[in-house]
Amino acid sequence: MLRLRSVHSYYSNAHVLKGISLHVRPGELIALIGANGAGKTTTLKTISGLVKARRGEVGFRGADIAGLAPNKIVRQGLSHVPEGRQIFAKMTVWANLELGGYLLRDREDVVQVAFNYGLFTGAFGLHYGAEQIGASVVPSSVGNTRRQVRILKDYRTTTLVCTPSYALRIAEVIKQMGVDPKILALKQGLFGGEPWGEEVRQAIEERLYIKAYDNYGLSEVMGPGVAGECPNRAGMHVAEDHFITEIIDPDTGEVLQNGTTGELVLTTVTKEAFPVIRFRTGDLASLDDSPCPCGRTLARISRISGRCDDIIIVKGVNIYPGAVGPILEAVTGVAPVYQLVVGLENDQDFLGIRIEVSEAMFFDKMERQRAMVDRLRKKVRDTLGITPRIWLVEAGSIRQDEETAPMVVDRRGGPEAS
Ligand SMILES: [Zn+2]
Gap from CA of 301 to ligand 1 centroid (Å)? 11
Amino acid 415: pLDDT: 43
User: pLDDT confidence of 262, banded at 50, 70, 90?
Assistant: very high
Gap from CA of 237 to ligand 1 centroid (Å)? 7
Burial (CB < 10 A; 0-12, 13-18, 19+), residue 79, is middle
* CA–CA distances in Å: residue 288 to residues 74, 83, 253, 401: 31, 33, 19, 38
> Which one-letter amino acid corresponds to residue 231?
P
Decide: 195 and 188 in contact? Cβ < 8 Å.
no
Burial (CB < 10 A; 0-12, 13-18, 19+), residue 236, is buried
Residue 105 burial (CB count, 10 A): 11
Strand 317-319 relative to strand 389-393, pairing? unpaired
Burial (CB < 10 A; 0-12, 13-18, 19+), residue 26, is exposed
Number of helical (H) and strand (E) elements in the chain, helices listed first: 10, 23
Gap from CA of 208 to ligand 1 centroid (Å)? 24
Gap from CA of 224 to ligand 1 centroid (Å)? 18
What size, in residues, is the chain?
Answer: 418
Gap from CA of 297 to ligand 1 centroid (Å)? 8
Gap from CA of 107 to ligand 1 centroid (Å)? 21
> Chain-centre distance of CA 150, in angstroms?
25
Decide: 91 and 84 in contact? Cβ < 8 Å.
no
Gap from CA of 367 to ligand 1 centroid (Å)? 59
Gap from CA of 128 to ligand 1 centroid (Å)? 23
Of the candidates 29, 217, 186, 50, which has an alpha carbon nearest to the alpha carbon of residue 114? 186
Residue 208 burial (CB count, 10 A): 23
In tens, the pLDDT along 73-108 reads: 887 778 888 777 677 777 778 777 777 765 545 568
Decide: 306 and 195 in contact? Cβ < 8 Å.
yes
Amino acid 74: pLDDT: 82
Gap from CA of 214 to ligand 1 centroid (Å)? 13
H or E element in which residue 329 lies: helix 321-332
Amino acid 370: pLDDT: 87
In tens, the pLDDT along 15-68 reads: 888 888 999 998 888 888 988 888 888 899 999 888 888 889 999 988 888 888
Gap from CA of 198 to ligand 1 centroid (Å)? 18
CA separation for the pair 265, 125 (Å, rounded): 21
Biggest alpha carbon–alpha carbon distance for the chain? 100
* Domains, in order of start, for the chain: 2-73 (3.40.50.300), 81-209 (3.40.50.12780), 226-309 (2.30.38.10), 312-410 (3.30.300.30)
Gap from CA of 112 to ligand 1 centroid (Å)? 24
